[in-house]
Structure 1
Amino acid sequence: MEPELKCFIEIWLAAVASAVYCREIAGRIPAGAARLFAVLPVAYLFVALPFRLSYLSIRGGVTFFLLVWLANFKLLLFSFGAGSLAGNPPDSLLEFICTALLPVKIKRCRPSQFSADLPNPLIFLFKTVALVAIASSCYAYRESIDPNVVLFLCFCNVCLFMDLTSAAVRVALRVLLGAELEPHFDRPHLSTSLQNFWGRRWNLMVTDILRPSVYLPVRRLLSPLIGKRLGLSAAIFATFGVSALMHELIFYYLTARSNPTWEVTQFFLVHGFCVAVEVDVKKELRGGVTFPAVLSRVMTLGFVGITGKLLFFPPLMRHGIALESMDEYRTIVRFLNWEKIE
């Protein structure tokens, strides 16, 4: 664990130095092709850095997601004077680094405007204990637990880890920057449609990046050529296509560069097609047909769950990623001395 932690620290120090370079040097170049050319070496570095790590959860689940996907897309937008990085004040280097490297969207506000929804210490402690308990129990009984149950518990672990990380970052940025953060999720279990689930409730940090980098440019480019209606559908499908490719890359990192099976791509293309059809039907009917909220939620979450079971999760099970992730959580617990291990 110690060499892995040392490597992890070195990678993130390099990432911070790269963000400083982008802010202080590339940022002085006018937005456009010249700034993009200056940023490209950093983008290449971010792609290469995760390969130095061996732990799945740290390599693919954290470092790849933050650097290869989010940070590189933010820098792409920054190269053309768009996105959240372009809106930072000139003297806010720390805010630039946090926005570039962390899954956050910062909003400035005065102390009197701060919301009161900071994490409750007792709830934070409860979630931490739950994370450790799930990881430890899965490790102890992994051979006798159904693989689907292990996968579900692994998913719970990931959600808890993301929730805890978000809470810690929220407190830290409140202290360092006097800033509030936009939420990462907005109660996805209340989604009443696929459009509502993907566009307004699930992983809003990714949505905020894909909208200006893929959806809006494709829509502006194609609408004059094929019409607004088809242009909208094409933009939605292209956005899900890019998300599919990025998820395939995450799985490529997670599976030690195994040949892709493209099941994850199929999952997102199916959802992209369905969202495009859903939006088109809504425009055609103009809201003339509605379902009860409870039924809409069951249908939406049911469709996400079934397609996830058929297309998204099989690669994780096939390569034993769920069990290996549990082993890693157990090692981390042991390293932090949260539990006595025989």
Structure 2
Amino acid sequence: MAMAGGESEVYGLIKVWASVFSALTYCCALGKLTRPGAGRLVFVLPIVGLFLLLPLHLSSVHLCGSTAFFIAWLANFKLLMFALGKGPLASSNPPLSLPNFIAVASLPIKIQPNPPQDGGQKAGATKDPQKGHKSVFNYGIKLLLLGIMLRVYDYSDHLPQVVLWFIYGFHIYFCLEIILAGAAVLARAALGMELEPQFNEPYLSTSLQDFWGRRWNIMVTSILRPTVYEPVLSFSTRLISRRYAPLPAVFSTFVVSAIMHELIFYYLGRIRPTWEITGFFLFHGMCLMGEIAIKKQLRLSRGLPRPLAAFLTFSFVMVTAFWLFLPPLLRCRADIRAFEEYSAIGEFAKDVLSHMSVSKAFNTSR
């Protein structure tokens, strides 16, 4: 990414997020001027359309991808719930202030309940490891591994394709965790709010239900549950037995997730979809339905030994990702463009350090 192109991208990012903040200010005012329902929905829909268009003004893999995820997916789904009087933007009591409304709408922010009167946890209480935040050491290890991966890419011509794809999978996961950890620090410093945990060591999943429901992209799960899963579950319960009503609800959730992932990939590559991403999510949706049905039919309370279950689940996810998920990502040159951006950032950092050294030497000589 050339310097001029980088500056243009930064200006574009500023314009996009200035538009986001203005639009969310308008939506916050709607909460005071309109009642939930069809009327508020009419006023919110133009903002939903705007948020679908704004990522098209960015071309950087990292900036466009993260912006698209935050506003075209998370913010839009939260705004649709807000229009109907549901979700984190509408259920807060007292109503959210403008800064908090913007933060909760545009970021995976978690509104913490009021702390206990004694000023902390009771003696002997422990945090839920799934909901708690990871240690600095945990993120440090992942940052170190990410740095090693970037060095390994220098020898990509000598590595088997399967090994490269395996590294790509962990690269995506580590990048998402580190970016979101940085956003959490900013949210905590600026607003005193916490970022919703996004991942819970997904490579330790012991089933597809565990992977998709409790470990991978937890914030997306919490958004899709009230907007897709629960309405379809309520409807399907009237048509089939309550025992198997979750199955169409699960599949519908994966259909919506597939559509949103196709949209994100379009933002990244601006090329016509090949629908492999849709195939990936529909296939996983059907497999998860089968897993749930088998557990219900056999009334299984315990599954395979945990290490074996984790190995089989991880292998299944990786193999299907190699087959259907990664090829479209590589086809839009996301990996090459990401490396170019890393290189540009590195060159910029070197220039800054060089200028600082020259300035220091000049001041010392005086």
TM-score between both structures, scaled by the size of structure 1: 0.88
Shift of 1:67: 0.9
Q: 1:155 to 1:77 in 2, by over 3 A?
A: same
- 198-207 or 244-253: bigger deviation: 244-253
Aligned equivalent of 2:206: 192
Specify whether residues 129 and 308 from structure 1 end up closer, same or farther in structure 2 by C-alpha distance, changes over 3 A only: closer
> Which position in structure 2 is the counterpart of 1:263?
276
2:327 to 281, 296, 314: 314
Q: Tell me by how many angstroms 1:87 deviates.
A: 2.4
Q: Deviations over 1:205-255 (max 9, x none)?
A: 000000000000011112202332443211110000100111111111222
Where has structure 1 moved over 6 Å in runs of 4 or more? Answer: 338-341
* Structure 2 match to 1:280: 293
Q: Which has the higher contact order (CA 8 A, sep 6+)?
A: 1
| Partner of residue 216 from structure 1, selected from 225, 230, 234 | 230
Q: What amino acid is the match of 2:277? A: V
Structure 2: runs of 5 or more not aligned: 1-5, 122-126, 355-366
| Residues 129 and 8 of structure 1, relative CA distance in 2, 3 Å threshold | farther
The answer to whether the 8 Å contact 1:193/1:296 transfers is: yes
Aligned pair 1:51/2:56, yes or no?
yes
- Report which of the two structures shows the higher radius of gyration computed on alpha carbons: 2
The SS at the match of 1:85 is coil
Range that drifts further, 91-100 or 294-303? 91-100
Cα contact 1:39–1:79 (8 A) shared by 2: yes
**Matches of 2:150 and 2:9 in 1, distance apart?**
19
Residues 69-91 of structure 1, C-alpha deviations (whole Å, 9 max, x = no match): 11101111111111121123325
- 1:7 partner letter: G
Instruction: Mark the CA change 1:336 to 1:128 in structure 2 (over 3 Å): closer, same or farther.
Output: farther
Deviation digits for residues 283-328 of structure 1 (CA, Å, limit 9, x no counterpart): 1222256211111111111111111111111212333322222222
User: Does the residue aligned with 2:79 lie in a helix, a strand or coil?
Assistant: helix
Secondary structure at 2:88 match in 1: helix
Contact 2:277 2:324 in 1 (8 A): yes
Aligned twin of 1:113: 120
Q: Deviations over 1:17-69 (max 9, x none)?
A: 1111111225531111111111111111111111111212321x211111111
Mapped contact 1:119–1:167 kept (Cα < 8 A): no
Task: Report the residue type matching 1:76 in the other structure.
Answer: L
Query: CA–CA distance in 2 between the matches of 1:189 and 1:3?
Result: 38
Instruction: Give the % identical residues.
Output: 41
Q: List per-residue Cα deviations over 1:93-135 (Å, max 9, x = no partner).
A: 2221111101232313439438795753x77666556545644
Q: What is residue 21 of structure 2 aligned with on the other side?
A: 16
Which segments of 5 or more consecutive residues in structure 1 lack a partner in the other structure? none
Query: Quick one: distance in 2 between partners of 1:322 and 1:45?
Result: 28
Q: Deviation at 1:334?
A: 2.5
Distance 1:338-1:146 versus aligned 2 partners, 3 A rule: farther
Residues in 1 aligned to 2:209 and 2:140: alpha-carbon distance in whole angstroms: 34
Q: Which residue of 2 aligns with 1:104?
A: 109
Residue identity opposite 1:274 in structure 2 = C
Rate the CA distance shift 1:259–1:167 in 2: closer, same or farther, 3 A. closer
Match of 2:40 among 21, 27, 35: 35
Of stretches 99-108 and 10-19 in structure 1, the one that deviates more from structure 2 is 99-108
Superposed CA RMSD: 2.7
Q: What is the rounded CA distance, in whole Å, between the counterparts of 1:281 and 1:126 in structure 2?
A: 38
In structure 1, give the amino acid aligned to 2:37: G
Alignment of 1:68-217 (within 5 A): 68-88=72-92, 89-110=94-115, 112-113=119-120, 117=133, 120=136, 131=146, 134-135=149-150, 138=153, 140-141=154-155, 146-217=160-231
Measured against aligned partners, the alpha-carbon deviations of 1:247-286 in whole angstroms (never above 9, x if no partner) come to 1111112221x22111111111111111111111111222
User: Residue 70 of structure 2 aligns with which residue?
Assistant: 66
User: Aligned residues, how many?
Assistant: 337
Q: After the TM superposition, which of the residue ranges 99-108 and 147-156 deviates more from structure 2? A: 147-156
Give distance in 1, aligned partners of 2:20 and 2:269: 24
Q: Secondary structure at the match of 1:107?
A: coil
Aligned partner of residue 258 in structure 2, secondary structure: helix
Q: Give the 3-state SS of the residue equivalent to 2:112 in structure 1.
A: strand
Question: How far does residue 181 in structure 1 lie from its aligned partner after superposition?
Answer: 3.7
TM-score normalized by structure 2? 0.83
